[in-house]
Amino acid sequence: MLDGKRILLIIGGGVAAYKSLDLARRLMERGASVRGVLTPGGQQFITPLSVASLTGDECYTDLFSLKDEAEMGHIRLSREADLVLIAPATADLMAKMANGLANDLASTILLATDKQVMVAPAMNAEMWAHKATQRNLETLKRDGVLMVGPGAGMLACGEVGPGRLAEVPDMVAAVEDFFAGGARPLSGKKIIVTAGPTHEPIDPVRYIANRSSGKQGFALAGALADLGADVTLVAGPVSQDTPIGVNRVDVQTALEMDAAVTTALPVDVAVCVAAVADWRMQAGTMGEKLKKSKDGIPALDLCENPDILKGLSSMSEGRPGLVVGFAAETEKVIEYARAKRERKGCDIIIANDVSDASGVMGGADNQVHVITGDGVDSWPTMSKQDVAVRLAQTIAGALDK
Ligand code: C5P
């Protein structure tokens, strides 16, 4: 897949630098040749010797090295590659790139190169979220720089959040995609994903809600975007970071979610992951806070919310080519989910056990059964991120049929 491709791998200063050694190996396994550049920060974590030993080439470290300049100047280094890959890319390196600074070997190469640059950022979550970093990210994307990751999860500093270096297989896949001509399987496809709970207000301070965290839907939206899809994520009230490359529309209620989905039509695929509240207040939100009274407990007069999944599945005109629903069950998971697929009229149902014992609701892992017209495919327990990546591939495969 990467036969004969020359990759210049710039390794920045971050704990994740050790992963780039594995990355170099995996790229070489696929036929690429890898030449390493190690920044002074990178050298605090791994040595030029390990990079050179693994790549079978010199590891370049110094802008003003007479030896390097005599043998291989930074201009040649930057040109004698088919792709310049920075992993891990620190906030500092991204800032330098975005502003055209060139005061060390890595930044000079990046300013001198006429080749595609791909960046795999890795940093503390606050540094990633900082306005300056996000501004630099936007600038780099506008400049045509490709991004891979970062993922979210446990960071070396002990904090949890976005900023983890993309996993090695994901970086390899991104490199392969680039050399495949950017022909990612979902390029040009429009996809809606609904995610999270909805909040149905009772009065100005109270609402009906559920425990959905939005994690699985957000991860799926990101994975679909990674495969090239143009994703609109209609999100209920959750505290999740928007995945890179995804258009997010925030809503509170089922009616708002339904309206946002309708606005985003037509689409090729609709994936309803949201745990939409089944009921809302019949007469709308009460204008004033409900008071306790001697007359007893107030009755909540509820009415049914629109079923977004069913609505999409049964569209007589302009139905999405593929409609995917989720079935969260606490017992007889497959049996109930099969019946749900029939009832809703969708093409695929992803069923999972959300009983308390499963720990799925709000948890990091998921175990799903993929139910189609052809039967049931039960996947092993894996992280919601991994479920998302595999589901995105399943969706791409189903569209291909
Ligand atoms: O009927 P139930 O809520 O169990 O069905 C779950 C599936 O239906 C999920 O895919 C969910 O996103 C979708 N759904 C919906 N609108 C509703 C209720 C559920 O899209 N009002």
My answer on whether 30 and 111 are in the same domain is: yes
List the CATH number of the domain containing 30.
Answer: 3.40.50.1950
Answer whether residue 1 is part of any domain: no
Q: What residue numbers bound the domain in which 296 lies?
A: 190-400
Answer whether residue 25 is part of any domain: yes
Q: What is the whole-number distance in angstroms between the Cα of residue 276 and the centre of ligand 1?
A: 6
The stretches in the chain having pLDDT less than 70 are: 1, 64-72, 182-183
Quick: pLDDT tens for 14-55: 999 999 999 999 999 989 999 999 999 999 999 999 999 999
Last residue of a domain, one of 148, 179, 210: 179
Q: Classify residue 275 by its DSSP letter.
A: B
My answer on whether 287 and 361 are in the same domain is: yes
Dihedral, CA atoms, 91, 92, 98, 102, nearest 10 degrees?
A: -160
Token pair recorded at residue 217:
């839907």
Last residue of a domain, one of 144, 179, 214: 179
My answer on whether 162 and 205 are in the same domain is: no
Q: What is the whole-number distance in angstroms between the Cα of residue 369 and the centre of ligand 1?
A: 16
- Whether 327 is in the pocket of ligand 1, judged by its Cβ within 6 Å, is yes
Answer whether residue 40 is part of any domain: yes
Quick: pLDDT tens for 46-84: 999 999 999 999 899 987 665 666 556 777 888 889 999
List the CATH number of the domain containing 294.
Answer: 3.40.50.10300
- Angstrom CA distances, 49 to 40, 55, 68, 125, stand at 14, 10, 16, 31
My answer on whether 223 and 334 are in the same domain is: yes
My answer on whether 233 and 136 are in the same domain is: no
Q: Which atom of ligand 1 is nearest to the CA of 328?
A: 4
CB under 8 Å to 127, separation ≥6 — which residues?
A: 91, 133, 163
My answer on whether 166 and 266 are in the same domain is: no
Residue 157: active-site member = yes
208, 276, 350: residue to mutate for ligand 1 pocket, most atoms within 8 A of CB: 276
- Whether 346 is in the pocket of ligand 1, judged by its Cβ within 6 Å, is no
Q: What is the whole-number distance in angstroms between the Cα of residue 52 and the centre of ligand 1?
A: 54
- Whether 351 is in the pocket of ligand 1, judged by its Cβ within 6 Å, is no
My answer on whether 134 and 215 are in the same domain is: no
Q: Which atom of ligand 1 is nearest to the CA of 273?
A: 12
Answer whether residue 71 is part of any domain: yes
Domain count, the chain: 2
